[in-house]
Amino acid sequence: MSAAALIDYHIHSTFSEDGRSTPEECARAAAARSLSGIIFTEHLEFVPPPDLEEPAYVPSRVLPAGEYLAAVESLRGVWRGRLSVGLGAELGLEGHNLDALPAYLATSSVAFDLVLGSLHAVRGSLVQCPEYVDPLGPPGAAQLYFERLLVGVRRAAELKACDVVGHLDLVKRCESFGPFRLADHRDLVEDLLRTIVGAGLGVEVNTSGYRQAPGEPYPGLETLRLYRDLGGEIVTIGSDSHSAATVGLESARALDFVRAAGFRYITLFRARQPRFVPI
């Protein structure tokens, strides 16, 4: 395994509204776990317009680009030669977020290293919560989630808004969901994965599932193998940490998972350009 392959490309610090640790604390935790590189992926979501047709998640703030850039630049200086520190974002793929993105970028000087595209909410409810899953039932909740995710990925691809799709089957995180069975949604998931591959995007192996209800990453092994079989090449690893305590957790285990899916390389990003390193 290349030493460069032990990474965590999905970290939220206090620059995300749900982050509990400072960037400095996260970097120290990454170094303590012998990671070679991290990328902060702070939430990038926007207040929905008042005329939106259905309820939407409303963030308490929008990512302050200047402060965020300065904090990451400072960390890069501190950790240069010991830990690669990247500047990233996790863009919500809900339609109003994609609508608002161009204006935000036009007034911001931030040059991201990686942008994750993730769907978190449907009809104003977080998809991992019983409030979303239970009224629809697991099959209906998954169907609607993947339909909305496909729409978001297609639009993001048109805008070149993201590089990697995050926690692809997040809906299975809900404890009342039960095991996720790819066969129940294969046609829709295959359409989604073909769209990702065709757009030159990647898939994240999100290790937070190991410490949550599924007991496996997002996506599961069968789905990741399908992505590979459809021509997928870009794979990143992220803990989806919201505190320093979980930064880099299960990164080494995720490399074994990626190998089990048939990949021999992991993807690193700088300035939104992928680079493949052997695992």
**List of domains in the chain:** 3-278 (3.20.20.140)
What is the band of 201 on the pLDDT scale with cuts at 50, 70, 90?
very high
The reported pLDDT for the residue numbered 109 is 79
pLDDT tens-digit series, residues 36-54: 999 999 999 999 999 998 9
Q: Is the pLDDT of residue 3 over 90?
A: no
Judged against a pLDDT cut of 90, whether residue 183 lies above it is answered with yes
Which residue is it, tokens 């409810």? 125
pTM of this prediction exceeds 0.85: yes
* Opening angle at CA 178, ends 173 and 181, nearest 5: 95
Is residue 169 predicted with pLDDT exceeding 70?
yes
Average pLDDT over residues 3-17: 94
Average pLDDT, the chain: 97
Instruction: Check whether 2 has a pLDDT greater than 80.
Output: no
